[in-house]
Chain A
Amino acid sequence: EAQVTQNPRYLITVTGKKLTVTCSQNMNHEYMSWYRQDPGLGLRQIYYSMNVEVTDKGDVPEGYKVSRKEKRNFPLILESPSPNQTSLYFCASTPSQTTDTQYFGPGTRLTVL
C-alpha cells in the first residue's frame, strides 16, 4: 500500500530533551516536507526537501533540523524542544517538482512540558 508513515504518533517529552520524529514514504517521491498544524494558524511548512541531500527552510524552521540521506526517509529533529513546539506535525511527500498533490502522513502529536 502506497503511504507515508510517521513515528511516533504521540509523544510527550520535557524541555531540552532531544527527539526525532521519523517519516518514511514508499512511493519513490522526490519531494518531502514537514508541516506543523496549530489552532488558528493552520498548516505551516517547517522544512522541505527536493531530493536526497537537498533540503531548505520553509516558513517556520527555527528550532528544527532535518536530513535527507535516503530518498524514502525524512526525519525531523528537535535538538532542544521547547513548549512552543507543542503541536501536531505532518510529513508529506510529492512525486516531483512539477506535481502539486501532497500525500500526508497520519500526524504526530507532540507535547513538550
Chain B
Amino acid sequence: QKEVEQDPGPLSVPEGAIVSLNCTYSNSAFQYFMWYRQYSRKGPELLMYTYSSGNKEDGRFTAQVDKSSKYISLFIRDSQPSDSATYLCAMKAPQGGSEKLVFGKGMKLTVNP
C-alpha cells in the first residue's frame, strides 16, 4: 500500500460547481498536510497548509483533515475556469525536513465555463 493515495482523475465540472478532492494516507505519523496547485507548464505552488484535524478555510477553498480516518480533502466552492489545474496533496511527519514530504500523484481538474 502506498503511503499516500489520491483519487484518480481527471475531473471535469461546470463553472460554479462545488469540487471535492481527496487523499488517503497510511502513515499515522503524518501531521502536516498541504495542497499544491499546478497550472499547465508551471511548477506546483502551495495552496493550503494545515497541521490539525478539522477545517481550514481560505476564500473559496477549504482544507479538511480527519486524522482518525487518515483522510484529507480540499473543497472548492463556486469553482471558476481559472481553478483548472492539477491538485496535489502532500504530507509529512514532524521529524525531518522537506526531504520527508510525500506527494500524492495529483488530480487534473477542468472547470468548464
Interface residues of A (CB under 8 A from B): 4, 31, 33, 40-43, 45, 48, 50, 56, 58, 90, 92, 94, 96-102, 104-107
Instruction: Report the interface size class on chain B.
Output: 20 to 34
List 12 A-B pairs, Cβ < 8 Å.
A31-B97, A33-B99, A42-B6, A42-B88, A48-B99, A50-B97, A90-B44, A99-B98, A100-B92, A101-B46, A102-B36, A102-B101
A92 / chain B contacts, CB cutoff of 8 Å: 43, 98
Interface residues of B (CB under 8 A from A): 6, 32, 34, 36, 41-46, 49, 88, 92, 96-99, 101, 103-106
A102 / chain B contacts, CB cutoff of 8 Å: 36, 44, 46, 98, 101
Assembly CA distance A45 to B96 (angstroms): 15
Given contacts A45-B99, A94-B97, contact A104 B105 (CB under 8 A): no
A97 / chain B contacts, CB cutoff of 8 Å: 96-98
Assembly CA distance A104 to B111 (angstroms): 24
Contacts A4-B43, A45-B99, A100-B101 known; 10 new A-B pairs at CB < 8 A: A31-B97, A31-B98, A42-B6, A42-B103, A50-B99, A90-B43, A100-B32, A100-B49, A102-B44, A107-B41
Assembly CA distance A51 to B33 (angstroms): 24
Assembly CA distance A84 to B106 (angstroms): 21
Who on chain A is nearest to B97 by CB?
A97
Closest A-B pairs by Cβ, 5 of them: A104-B43, A42-B105, A97-B97, A43-B103, A94-B98
A106 / chain B contacts, CB cutoff of 8 Å: 41-43
Assembly CA distance A70 to B104 (angstroms): 31
A99 / chain B contacts, CB cutoff of 8 Å: 97-98
Given contacts A41-B105, A42-B106, A43-B103, contact A105 B43 (CB under 8 A): yes
Assembly CA distance A108 to B98 (angstroms): 21
Q: Which of A4, A43, A48, A97 has the most CB of B within 10 A?
A: A43
**CB <8 Å contact, B44 and A104:** yes
Of B34, B41, B44, B106, which is within 8 A of A100 by CB? B34
Assembly CA distance A104 to B36 (angstroms): 10
Assembly CA distance A106 to B41 (angstroms): 7
